[in-house]
Amino acid sequence: MTALSVNINKVALLRNSRGCDEPNVLQFSQDLIKLGAEGITLHPRPDGRHALYSDVYELKKNIDVELNVEGYPSEDFLEMVCEVKPDQCTLVPDPPGALTSDSGWDCEKNMDFLQKVVARLQAEGVRVSIFLDPDPVQVNFAMKTGTDRIELYTQSYAESYGTDSFEKVFAGYFATAARAVELGVGVNAGHDLNQENLTYLKQNLPGLAEVSIGHALISEMLYQGMETTIKNYLDCLK
Ligand SMILES: CC(=O)[C@@H](O)[C@H](O)COP(=O)(O)O
Ligand SMILES: NCC(=O)COP(=O)(O)O
């Protein structure tokens, strides 16, 4: 079973654009959950462009599905996560001004740092996932950090989908996920997934436990509406 965790960053972006509380992030999340979303993800970035720390606190108190908080493990981010204690924290290596997440960790180079962060979060009962490029070698280092899961960064999967290079690109994802399963590390995936490319990933990637999807899903809702869009994504994951 692969859980659908909806990333509400873009709902928060719309809310922030007018300085009021419309759309309300909590109400939107609760409506997503009523329609079958099995998790909520948000990525409070340092510049507060969309999801905010206050959203994390409010969601934690008011939703009954898994909460996944993504971010660079700065001290203030870690203090917030350790206080909120979401179900999962996904560590991403984004610098503060990043337009969006565009690479996974080099776990070998950041081993000491990541080991300390992983241990700190796990001590608070938070499951840890590390954002990773499709590279089986990196999985070995990710395991050494002590992480519970990896999150495969699926931008190149999405970009190659339907092109001549897809088979070669997907082979890297398959090898990385298979290595994670072999090492007992959980497999999540996210970034640029959509209704067109999700089914193949679900049907062919070993051990896929969770997908976190935001930009395409929220954009598609503008055309299809919330109910149809969520139903379509859940159908892709059957
Ligand atoms: C980690 C990842 O790939 C996405 O979850 C990221 O959170 C997207 O961030 P933006 O919504 O700011 O593009
Ligand atoms: N971790 C990926 C995520 O939460 C959403 O990424 P995207 O669907 O907005 O590209």
Divide the 238 residues of the chain into consecutive groups of 10 and give the mean pLDDT of each group. 98 96 98 98 97 98 98 98 98 92 96 98 98 98 98 98 98 98 98 98 98 98 98 98
Q: Check 43, 151, 210, 220 and give the catalytic one.
A: 43
DSSP, residue by residue, the chain: --EEEEE-HHHHHHHHTTTS--S-HHHHHHHHHHTT--EEEE---TT-SS--HHHHHHHHHH--SEEEEEE---HHHHHHHHHH--SEEEE----TT-SS------TTTTHHHHHHHHHHHHTTT-EEEEEE-S-HHHHHHHHHHT-SEEEEE-HHHHHHTTSTTHHHHHHHHHHHHHHHHHHT-EEEEESS--TTTHHHHHHHSTTEEEEEE-HHHHHHHHHH-HHHHHHHHHHHT-
Q: Which class for 18: exposed (0-12), middle (13-18), buried (19 or more C-beta within 10 A)?
A: exposed
Q: Please give the number of the atom of ligand 1 that sits closest to the Cα of 192.
A: 3
- In the residue annotation, 191 being an active-site residue is answered as yes
Atom 10 (ligand 2) nearest CA: 191
pTM over the 0.90 mark: yes
- In the residue annotation, 70 being an active-site residue is answered as yes
- C-alpha–C-alpha distance, residues 172 and 179, integer Å: 11
Q: Check 38, 70, 210, 220 and give the catalytic one.
A: 70
Ligand 1 close to Cβ of residue 131 (< 6 A): yes
Q: Which class for 167: exposed (0-12), middle (13-18), buried (19 or more C-beta within 10 A)?
A: exposed
- How far CA 194 is from CA of 13, 74, 157, 159, 161, in Å, comes to 19, 30, 11, 11, 11
Residue 100 in marked binding region:
yes
Q: Which residues of 198-227 are buried (b: 16+ CB within 10 A; e: fewer)?
A: beebeeebebbebbbbbbbbbebbeeeebe
Ligand 2 close to Cβ of residue 149 (< 6 A): no
145 Cα: distance to centroid of ligand 2 (angstroms): 23
Q: Which two tokens stand for residue 33?
A: 């959950």
78 Cα: distance to centroid of ligand 2 (angstroms): 20
- In the residue annotation, 75 being an active-site residue is answered as no
170 Cα: distance to centroid of ligand 2 (angstroms): 18
State the ligand closest to the CA atom of 94: 1
Q: How many CA atoms lie within 13 A of 84 on its CB side?
A: 28
191 Cα: distance to centroid of ligand 2 (angstroms): 4
Q: How is the chain split into domains, by residue range?
A: 3-236
pLDDT for res 98: 87
- C-alpha–C-alpha distance, residues 221 and 206, integer Å: 29
CATH number of the domain at 3-236, please? 3.20.20.70
Among 43, 192, 194, residue to substitute to test ligand 1 (most atoms within 8 Å of Cβ):
43
Atom 12 (ligand 1) nearest CA: 100
